Amino acid sequence: MRRRAGVGAIHKQKLEQEKYKDKGTEIQENQLEQMSKQMEVFRINLEKFAAKHKNEIKKNAQFRRQFTEMCASIGVDPLASGKGFWSVLGIGDFYYELAVQIVEVCLATNYKNGGLIYLDELRDRLIQARGRRKEHQEITNEDLLAAAKKLKIFGNGFSIVPLGRGRHLVQSIPGELSMDHTAVLQQASQSGNAYVSKSLLQKELRWESDRTQKALDHMVKEGLAWLDLQGEEETLYWFPSMFTACINSSS
């Protein structure tokens, strides 16, 4: 007949489990401390690297992207750091200045595109405008997306509308676009014609008639779409923000 474990044996087993638990906690704390030290060394070296290559970071877009990726890997955001070393480095200033220029271009083109502009077109216009002032300084779409985040302080007046396949629209009018409005813009972009029709949206998106008409009416009201009553079979809804892209693709 097996003997049951006594109270002393159970107590001893609990003590051993607590020792293992304490030892595991101690190992975790040591690992965390070592990791923190390594990250601090990495941060210091990153600051030295940034100071040494300051001009290269500002002028070379690919170099700048790789640098920001290194920063993100250790939780450093030089764009959000307005004090200390990072403010002296001035990388944040580059994006703040770019954000201001984004606003300038959006306001200048608002009257003809309804407050929506392709990111590629925005980049082309910025390069032309900066060519006279900022020589040999590359700008990428990634730079524009990073700078556009700064515009969130204006509320929903400035935002990025993803269209898929790496394409984006920059919205510069008050009012947030719903998922339905974004879907309509995506369809107009994918068609390559800069317009949609009610029947097209119902077919491609499988929407009911009321839902489709509501989305289209809102976009016309906000000036994002133009009505074309001359369509052969039905009313067409044109998006002036996409005119340039369609012309370029057909030429």
Domain boundaries, the chain: 47-157+165-175, 177-251
Helices 198-205 & 209-221, crossing angle to 10 degrees?
130
Domains 47-157+165-175 and 177-251 share a fold: yes
What CA–CA distance (Å, rounded) separates 151 from 66? 23
pLDDT tens sequence across 34-57: 767 776 777 677 777 777 777 777
Q: Which residues of 208-220 are buried (b: 16+ CB within 10 A; e: fewer)?
A: eeeebeebbebbe
Per-residue pLDDT at 250:
47
Q: Residue type at 179?
A: M
Per the rule left: phi > 0, alpha: psi between -120 and 50, beta: everything else, 215 is alpha
Asked if the model's pLDDT at residue 142 lies above 60, the reply is yes
- How many CB atoms lie under 10 A from the CB of residue 87? 13
At residue 18, does pLDDT exceed 80?
A: no
* pLDDT tens by residue, 65-112: 777 777 767 666 665 555 444 454 556 667 778 888 888 898 888 888
pTM, entire model: 0.62
pLDDT of 156: 66
Higher pLDDT, 129 or 10: 129
Which alpha helices (H) appear in 53-178, and where do they start and end?
54-59, 61-73, 84-89, 91-113, 119-130, 141-148
CATH top-level class of 177-251: mainly alpha
| Residue predicted with more confidence, 142 or 56 | 142
**Cα 74 to Cα 36, 53, 234, distances in angstroms:** 10, 19, 55
Q: So what's the architecture of 47-157+165-175 in CATH?
A: Orthogonal Bundle (1.10)
Tell me the C-alpha to C-alpha distance, in Å, between residue 58 and each of 49, 81, 94. Answer: 13, 16, 7
Determine the average pLDDT of the residues in 195-222. Answer: 93
Q: Are 99 and 162 in contact (CB under 8 A)?
A: no
